[in-house]
Structure 1
Amino acid sequence: MELAHLAAFVAVAEHGGFSAAAEQLHLTQPAVSKRIAQLEASLDARLFDRLGRRVLPTEAGHLLLPRARQLLADAEHAQRALRELDLDIGGSLRLVCSHHIGLHRLPPVLRKFGERHPQVELELRFLDSEQAWQEVLHGRSELALSTLGPATPPLQATRLWHDPLCFVAAATHPLAQRKTLALTDLSTHPAVLPDPGTFTHRIVAEAFALRGLPLHLRMTTHYLETIKMLASVGLAWSVLPQTLLDRSLRVLPVRGVKLSRDLGLVAHTGRTPSRAARAFTQLLRHYAD
């Protein structure tokens, strides 16, 4: 039984005729007659007797009428509940985030989200960007905030922030004494960088590979804050986001090379976003570059 057919049946029963029912439903009389005929065919029962100009429910019609009214009321309540979903957002949201974004981009977003949607149970974990992508891919997290690499279905990446990268070293490092530098100069000194499997490491490595230059690594680590400390004590030069720079580091004037990365949101295209995820995504866009 279709709701449209039931609505036509109730209208005819309540108004005692097809013309009045058609007027109420904003349909033509033939359209109402067709719906009643289709309903009778589906139920294999005659629902109305036509007595001259009068239309009266049969015994089957009387039996169906209260149930049809209840079905239509239930459908209306369900539609209203769906329309009101976003008015009271609750549930849970599993979010995974890179350490850097969590420290430097996420705090104002989390603060505002908590104020707007206190009923949402937020499960937040911090992982490297590449691991974060795997969490979304395998359905263990609904959203990820990370450095963006090449995204292939079923993952979809949305850029939120442009993140310039700078060549840096301690003020006492030999490279910091130069007024101008090229990648050739950096290739003769060891570097400390994120692990080779990270998107950021690949950005730096590709810049050297394009110029046929070696990249000498003193060590690698997952954490940018640790890299910053190692570079600030003069152990090696490095590449860090502008948001991490302070007086402990000096930006190296490397000519002809500008490095940057994109930060953003990763979601699974095959997953229907929860109300909480939709609200969080909408809020993120207000804080994007």
Structure 2
Amino acid sequence: MDNQNLSAFIIVAENKSFSEAAYVLDVTQSTISKRIALLESQVGKKLFDRIARRVALTEAGQELLPRARRILKEYANALQAINDLSGNVSGILRLAISHHLGLHRLPDLLKIFSKTYPDVVLDIEFMDSEKAYERVMQAKSEIGIITLGSEIHPNIHKKEIWDDPLKFVCSEDHALSKLLDPELEDLANFPVILPGLNTYTGRIVQNIFQYRQISLVTPMSTNYLETISKMVEIGLGWSVLPETLTKNLHSLSVNHTSIKRQLGYICHTKHTLSNAGVAFLSLLDQQCEIEVNL
């Protein structure tokens, strides 16, 4: 089976559209149709049902899809393994990076890596930490740089690189800003804007209040910390944010309460790292040593 045909099949299946697959692969829709027709001819079965302007996998297509993904993954792994035998640091390095780390912690490191290893193509996807974790678990990304959760699968190796203190914050003119040493109960009287409970950060904050059996008023939620910072700044509620996002906000000294996150990287222990992956982790480990010595 031709790799291009398999790739076209996977992209059509994921997008449920020939035209969208053509856009993703930067080819004509006619080319996509020909590749699918060739693949259907090879397997002797129809792979898609065409319904209106959308397509759906047939039973044969559903059987082929996971196998097609494995074939392309093994092919890419084989090419990378052969390339790594030379000792060269090159090829594609797939990274899954949380939005916050991509904006506030990694730009300089990525710049250094790109200059040091110009033959490496960085394939970076920015997403929530939880989704990045799943991508590494599924071997779709080689390394994840994320907020580290307390529960990690035995096949996942994690390393903390940064301590990330979190601050209780509100706007400069919020009623809470007038309190010298507010208690958690004081905060609970006002609306809070937090990441969802599906995020590590959201659960950290919620657990603190649940432990004290304090209910929170949460009229809105978003997983983008930069958005939360702006909403807090205009007075829509208080929140808990990293220090990097508190510039225009009032920090609240909440009695006997301090919160921090662990930021770092994860990789899968059952998958051999590429030379590029090893080089990138080495750079992150150097950053860890710098943080320890600060």
1:207 is displaced (CA, Å) by: 0.6
Partners of 2:136 and 2:240 lie apart in 1 by: 28
Partner of 2:285: 285
Match of 1:107 in 2: 107
- Look up the match of 1:140: 140
- The answer for the alignment partner of 1:233 in structure 2 is 234
What is residue 191 of structure 1 aligned with on the other side? 192
Q: Displacement of 1:244 after TM fit?
A: 1.3
Pairs aligned (count): 205
TM-superposed deviation, 1:153: 1.7
Residue 287 of structure 1 aligns to a residue in which SS? helix
User: What's the counterpart of residue 90 of structure 2?
Assistant: 90
Paired AA for residue 181 in structure 2: T
- What corresponds to 2:155 in structure 1? 154
Tell me how far 1:242 sits from its aligned partner: 0.6
Could you report, residue by residue, the CA deviation over 1:174-216 in whole angstroms, capped at 9, with x for unpaired residues?
0011111110111111100011110000000111011111122
- Give distance in 1, aligned partners of 2:159 and 2:141: 16
Task: Provide TM-score, normalisation by structure 2.
Answer: 0.68
Q: What is the letter of the counterpart of residue 171 of structure 1?
A: E
> If the length of structure 1 is used for normalisation, what is the TM-score?
0.69
Shift of 1:169: 0.3
Where 1:181 maps in the other structure, the secondary structure is coil
Distance 1:124 1:95 in 2: 5
Counterpart mapping for 1:1-289 below 5 A: 82=85, 85=87, 88-149=88-149, 150-246=151-247, 248-288=248-288, 289=291
1:212 partner SS: coil
Return structure 1 stretches of 4+ with deviation > 4 angstroms: none
Worse-matched range after superposition: 254-263 or 213-222 = 213-222
How much does 1:158 deviate?
1.0
The runs of 5 or more residues in structure 1 that have no matched partner are 1-80
**AA aligned opposite 1:222:** N
Q: Match for residue 4 of structure 1?
A: none
Give the distance between the partners of 1:257 and 1:185, measured in 2 at CA. 13
